[in-house]
């Protein structure tokens, strides 16, 4: 009997000492597996600067509760720094819109048509199951010395029904796709190219 009781206590202690599973997520572009055919005359854009709001600069996924409160989830995290994931997803989405994005010059004499500044001010899912993205972006000329246009985009995407964070992250990924469509169309319109509807 004593041995049985000790076995139960040991099992309980072992269960209590087990850490909850940590889930890691990547931002996903649903069109990333498609092969984008880019014309030789497609606009080339250099990402001059990228700023991520400081409260998002953490491995844990952030959710918003009401207007001013946020929730940091210890067991649902980004698989890589969010800045890296966001830029990668944005560049892939821009490529699908026939815009060549670069983070830096590959060659000293490489030429670009435009430069772009992105400031991500908000990027999370609300308690109303809506993914929200708020970005201030600025398009500059080829030299990066003159601003051509500047906008603040506020994009929302409903979260599909489902448990866990999978659907939340998919909705967040979609907000990046929609942002790329807006910016790409502005660039194409300025370059005299055909724009695409959402």
Q: Please say whether the beta carbons of 63 and 70 come within 8 A.
A: yes
Q: Map out the domains of the chain as residue ranges.
A: 24-191
pTM of the model: 0.85
User: What pLDDT, on a 0 to 100 scale, did the predictor assign at position 53?
Assistant: 98
Please give the Cα distance from 96 to 100 (Å, whole number): 9
**Per-residue DSSP letter, 172:** H
Cα(164)–Cα(168) distance, integer angstroms:
8
d(C-alpha 107, C-alpha 190), whole Å: 26
The string of pLDDT tens digits covering residues 75-118 is 999 999 999 999 999 999 999 999 999 988 766 678 999 999 99
Q: Which contacts (CB < 8 Å, 24+ apart) does range 61-65 have?
A: 61/25, 61/124, 61/165, 61/168, 61/169, 62/123, 62/124, 63/124, 63/125, 63/126, 63/127, 63/168, 64/124, 64/125, 64/126, 64/127, 64/132, 65/126, 65/127
Per-residue pLDDT of the chain (198 residues; tens, 9 = 90+): 555 555 555 555 455 556 789 999 999 876 666 655 666 678 999 999 999 999 999 999 999 998 889 999 999 999 999 999 999 999 999 999 999 999 887 666 789 999 999 999 999 999 999 999 999 999 999 999 999 999 999 999 999 988 789 999 999 999 999 999 999 999 999 988 766 666
Cα separation, 88 vs 70, whole angstroms:
25
Highest CATH level, class, for 24-191? alpha beta
**DSSP calls for 1-22:** -HHHHHHHHHHHHHHHTSPPPP
């Amino acid at each position: 009997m004593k041995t049985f009781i000790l076995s139960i206590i040991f099992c309980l202690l072992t269960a209590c000492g087990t850490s909850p599973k940590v889930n890691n997520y990547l931002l996903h572009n649903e069109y990333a597996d498609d092969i984008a055919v880019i014309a030789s005359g497609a606009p080339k854009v250099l990402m001059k600067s990228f700023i991520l709001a400081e409260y998002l600069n953490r491995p844990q996924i952030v959710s918003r509760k009401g207007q001013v409160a946020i929730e940091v989830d210890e067991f649902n995290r980004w698989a890589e720094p969010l800045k890296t994931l966001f830029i990668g997803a944005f560049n892939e989405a821009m490529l699908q819109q026939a815009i060549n994005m670069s983070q830096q010059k590959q060659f000293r004499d490489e030429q670009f048509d435009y430069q772009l500044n992105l400031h991500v001010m908000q990027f999370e899912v609300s308690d109303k199951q809506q993914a929200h993205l708020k970005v201030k972006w600025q398009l500059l000329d080829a030299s990066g010395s003159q601003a051509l246009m500047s906008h603040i985009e506020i994009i929302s995407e409903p979260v599909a029904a489902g448990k866990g964070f999978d659907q939340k992250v998919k909705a967040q990924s979609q907000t990046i796709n929609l942002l790329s469509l807006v910016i790409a169309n502005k660039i194409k319109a300025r370059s005299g190219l055909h724009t695409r509807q959402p």
